[in-house]
Amino acid sequence: MDLLSRPRRLRGKQALRDMVRETRVSKNGLIYPVFVKEGNQIKEEIPSMPGQYRYSLDTLAYELEKVQKSGVRGVLFFGIPKEKDACGSGAWADDGIVQKAVELAKKEFPDLYLITDVCLCEYTSHGHCGLLHGQNVDNDSTLEVLAKTALSHVQAGADMVAPSDMMDGRILAIRNLLDKSGYVNTPIMSYAVKYSSAFYGPFRDAAGSAPAFGDRKTYQMDFHNRREAIKEAELDLAEGADIIMVKPGLAYLDIVREIADRFPVPCAVYSVSGEYSMMKAAAMAGYIDEAAVVSESAVSMFRAGADILISYYAKEIAGYITEGRIG
């Protein structure tokens, strides 16, 4: 048969397939989320996320050592306080759990890059991501509190802050306060494109952050919308965001591609708790090859345009890169 173009020519040997690979995955682009909890001698497995744990400060170092040895260089801290109140005051307390975790990590693991989630939902008694006015989340009064929280994280030693609340104007509020306080070089990774998603269920179990009433659809995005994602990203960049995040991951790869193509800044994607738990449950049931499926899904996010992947499988993905399974 007279065929001049034969795509199979470039698939003949592994060395050649590696050579012409379009998507390269690096450990440098991985971030591992870590749950830190007030208390002592805590290493609690999260029932809905097998293999994931909540750590107290005295057990945190053991996990961070594993993260560092895996080759993952970035961690994202989420805090779980002992006590909550209506305004989430534990979020910006100097002796808050995230602030203490950052101080410990900065001292014991100076080579790790420390990122903190900035939100109120883990700290408020009502579980919403902002201050309430009656039954409504009040956008503008929340901004000052979020900025105070971000500043307290940076003062404790955080290298980057990542606001996840989805309040309008919070990037500008945080940027202005950080700059005013002398932290002009501290970057902001914005959860700019965060959809109201059913994939967050296990996280709310892990962090104890389910809303006591209602839902978060008045501030998180409708999953039917694409143009709104572009609008949110444009607004956050205009307010001073340095990295744009899309969350969740697998069900939103079209949005990842859209953001990556449109904006000349790094694009992060958060492969969320529900994605992790589905893959873990299927693997535990023997339905899938866990390593193969995790590898394929991770590559799909980088292929879609992500520069950064936040994943509960980050340590395993780093191992798969070392093994040559992906890369």
Residues catalogued as catalytic: 194, 247
* Chain position carrying tokens 């992060």: 268
Strands (E), the chain: 30-37, 43-46, 49-55, 74-80, 113-118, 132-133, 136-137, 160-163, 189-194, 243-247, 267-271, 308-311
- Tens of each residue's pLDDT in the chain, 327 residues: 889 899 999 999 998 998 889 999 999 999 999 999 999 999 999 999 999 999 999 999 999 999 999 999 999 999 999 999 988 999 999 999 999 999 999 999 999 999 999 999 999 988 889 898 888 989 999 999 999 999 999 999 999 999 999 999 999 999 999 999 999 999 999 999 999 999 998 987 776 777 777 688 889 999 999 999 999 999 999 999 999 999 999 999 999 999 999 999 999 999 999 999 999 999 999 999 999 999 999 999 999 999 999 999 999 999 999 999 898
Looking at residue 214, its pLDDT comes to: 67
Task: Report the b/e string of 117-147 with b at 16+ CB within 10 A.
Answer: bbbbbbbbebbbbbbbeeeebebeebbebbb
Task: Give the pLDDT confidence score for residue 327 in this predicted structure.
Answer: 80
Q: Residue 193 has what pLDDT? A: 98
pLDDT score recorded for residue 97: 97
Q: What is the pLDDT of residue 216?
A: 84
| Pairwise CA distance, residues 167 & 180, whole Å | 21
pLDDT value at position 49? 96
Question: What is the SS3 assignment for 122?
Answer: coil
Domains and CATH numbers, the chain: 20-323 (3.20.20.70)
